[in-house]
Amino acid sequence: MNIKVLGSGCAKCNKLEQLVREIVEEEGLDAEVEKVADPSEIINYGVMVTPALVVDERVLFSGIVPDKSKLKEWLSSK
């Protein structure tokens, strides 16, 4: 699984990245986590509000940081 956290480095973006990395480690997911801060690349995903989460090139959400249990549910089902 390829996971991208889209964001410029704001507090919410950093929090989302931290949560994603924690979940990947805790759940033993076979996933590569990448932080994407380049505005042009973020726009290429059609994202106008960060943070956003992209899993296997599909945008799951943008503009929010879901709670850890919800995020774990989404990532574990992939």
Residue 16: active-site member:
no
Residue 21: active-site member:
no
* Catalytic, out of 3, 5, 6, 13: 13
* Catalytic, out of 1, 10, 11, 37: 10
DSSP string, 7-71: -SS-HHHHHHHHHHHHHHHHHT---EEEEE--HHHHHHTT--SS-EEEETTEEEEES----HHHH
Which residue numbers are catalytic? Answer: 10, 13
